[in-house]
Structure 1
Amino acid sequence: MNVHDFTVDMPGGGKQDMSEFKGKVLLLVNTASKCGFTPQYKGLEQLNEKYADKGLVVMAFPCNQFGAQEPGDEEEIKNFCSLTYDVTFPLAKKIDVNGDNADPLWKHLKDQQAGLLGSRAIKWNFTKFLVDRDGKVVGRYGPQVAPGSLEKDIEKLLA
């Protein structure tokens, strides 16, 4: 199994077959609109703008599991991201990343790349996973890691 074997629910009832991203580098991030890390949307959009033409796909997965910091519905989340941070990368449907109802893709991401001290659970909003062109999870970065600091890792995968 790799990331390309999954399908993601999108706002409005649509589906995103992750196999459509074969040959692309993915940066998958669980996000929230009312979090201290929310300004990272700006850095994520900067990465998207800089590297999309070279094969990077940034995708956000809104999640309300940490401090109820993503209370909005699909339309509110989309409007917030667009109006506040000019986000143009895809936003998936709001999901759980931990627990019994965790999204299958996020279960896979956590199984492939453990966090600090081997922890599998997502600890907070804006945990980031980097996926290579073949769908293999190659990096996990905590919320405190600014998107811009991932450029070297992204560039290696895009080379």
Structure 2
Amino acid sequence: MNALLQQNSHLPVTVLAFPCNQFGLQEPGKNDEIINGIKYVRPGHGYVPDEKIYFFSKTKVNGMNENPLFSNVKESCPPTKDTIGDTNDMYWNPIKSTDLTWNFNKFLLDKQGIPRFRFGSSPNATELLPWILDLVAED
């Protein structure tokens, strides 16, 4: 994400990051431990998120107690896969076809905050540049 933001610092882009422990229980720490985990563990090596990345408190993105923000963006954009995984690996209920399937899913919202595009975990942030440029060009 840093590479995308630094190579395109002229673009009016802000990243909102929502840590979640619903995928393989990979975010067990407390909210005040998340940045240190990023800096020293994964990706580690002293990584510091760009100043345009804002971290929120851990939240639930799927299931009965999912954050309403995620209910909205998931309903606004079609899923990225036909199957979402093995129910033995999921830590939420109910399981819906629109659920996020793993860490680092990405949603692009336009200037009015309307969800426009949804991406799974696979594309890295720099691969989203064409869609970001399209959204920025829509004045």
TM norm structure 1: 0.67
Secondary structure at the counterpart of residue 145 of structure 1 = coil
CA displacement, residues 86-122 of structure 1 (integer Å, 9 cap, x when unaligned): 1131101000000111001011010101212393111
| Secondary structure at the counterpart of residue 122 of structure 1 | coil
Which structure ranks higher in relative contact order (CA pairs < 8 Å, sequence separation ≥ 6)? 1
Matching residue of 2:64? 100
Q: Which of residues 99, 106, 109 in structure 2 aligns to 1:128?
A: 106
- Please say if 1:56 is aligned against 2:13: yes
- In the alignment, is residue 137 of structure 1 matched against residue 110 of structure 2? no
Structure 1 letter corresponding to 2:11: K
C-alpha separation in 1, matches of 2:117 and 2:28: 28
Q: Secondary structure at the match of 1:114?
A: coil
Equivalents in 2 of 1:77, 1:130: separation in Å? 23
**C-alpha separation between the residues in 1 aligned to 2:114 and 2:77?**
10
1:42-100 deviation digits (Å, cap 9, x = unpaired): xx122222345421001110000011001111121022234532113110100000011
Q: Which consecutive aligned stretches of 4+ in structure 1 deviate over 6 angstroms post-superposition?
A: none
CA distance in 1, matches of 2:24, 2:99: 15
Runs (5+) with no aligned partner, structure 1 = 1-43
Q: CA, structure 1 residues 49+112, in 2 after alignment: closer, same or farther (shift >3 Å)?
A: same
Using a 3 Å threshold, how does the CA distance of structure 1 residues 57 and 79 change in structure 2: closer, same or farther? same
Number of residue-to-residue matches in the alignment: 116
AA matched with 1:94: K
Identity %: 35
Q: Could you say which residue in structure 2 is the equivalent of 1:38?
A: none
Q: Show the counterpart of 2:93.
A: none
1:71 aligns with 2:28: yes
Where does the alignment leave 5 or more consecutive residues of structure 2 unmatched? 84-96
Matched AA of 1:144: S
